Amino acid sequence: MSKKTQPKLKEYISEDKISKRINKLANKLNKDYRDKNPIFIGILNGSFIFLADLIREIKIDCEIDFLKLSSYGDEKISSGNVTLLKDLNCEIENRHIIIVEDIVDSGLSVNFIKNLIEEHKPASLRFVTLLFKKDISKLTFKIDYIGFKIDNKFVVGYGLDFAQKYRNLKAIKVLKSTN
Ligand code: IMP
Ligand code: MG
């Protein structure tokens, strides 16, 4: 008789650790972007909680917009095709742009975003990601601000999902399938 597979969640990065790290990232951004009035661009859906917490630690003038890219669907592995589901509503020419991602995994999404943004001739373009998978394969450039470098595990919580679930968890957890 086959038993139903139950997902199991194990804490990986605590709420407290996330919040302390975000403070440090924000302090650095506050210094690096003083008098630059940057535009923070959150990548939906995964970055919404990270961006909300990060932006409240930003003390300089700034603006916010969002881009939405195609998701993984209900899979844990990227299809390899990235498409744009929601474009920007602001003008980015000659502006300082900071892309805010939840996680960089293969690097395909950020490669796509970099090409897209650069077409519009921003004054500068940098990337912030809360999580960065160490075994990254397809990334073609360096990520400027990284919250945590993590092992090649599938994580959920704090905005990150599996099949749209678990975004509401306060900590970051590893999702494992057990029989
Ligand atoms: P990439 O294009 O492979 O770098 O994947 C980027 C996007 O895939 C992220 O913005 C996430 O939305 C999603 N993703 C990648 N790894 C994970 C994970 O471990 N948990 C949840 N979502 C992930
Ligand atoms: Mg994402």
Which DSSP category does 35 fall into? T
Q: Please check the confidence at residue 73 and state whether its pLDDT lies above 70.
A: no
Which of the four pLDDT bands, split at 50, 70 and 90, describes residue 74?
low
pLDDT in tens, 136-160: 778 889 999 999 999 999 999 999 9
1 CA → ligand 2 middle, Å? 38
Q: Which two tokens stand for residue 136?
A: 């990254």
51 CA → ligand 2 middle, Å? 12
Our mutation pick for probing the ligand 1 site, out of 12, 44, 102, counting the most ligand atoms within 8 A of Cβ, is 102
Lookup result for tokens 């003390």: 59
**Could you give the 3-state DSSP secondary structure of residue 160?**
strand
Which of the residue ranges 31-40, 42-51, 76-85, 149-158 would you say has the lowest mean pLDDT? 76-85
For the question of residue 105 being annotated catalytic, the response is yes
- Considering every ligand atom, which ligand is closest to the CA of 138? 1
The pTM is what? Answer: 0.92
What are the residue boundaries of the structural domains of the chain, listed by start? 15-29+36-152
Taking a 5 Å cut-off on Cβ, the residues next to ion ligand 2 are 46, 102
Q: What radius of gyration do the chain's Cα atoms show?
A: 17
Write the CA distances from 169 to 17, 47, 48, 165, integer angstroms: 14, 13, 13, 9
Which of the residue ranges 25-29, 88-92, 98-102 would you say has the lowest mean pLDDT? 88-92
Q: Out of 3.90.230.10, 3.30.70.660, 3.40.50.2020, 3.40.50.1580, select the CATH number for domain 15-29+36-152.
A: 3.40.50.2020
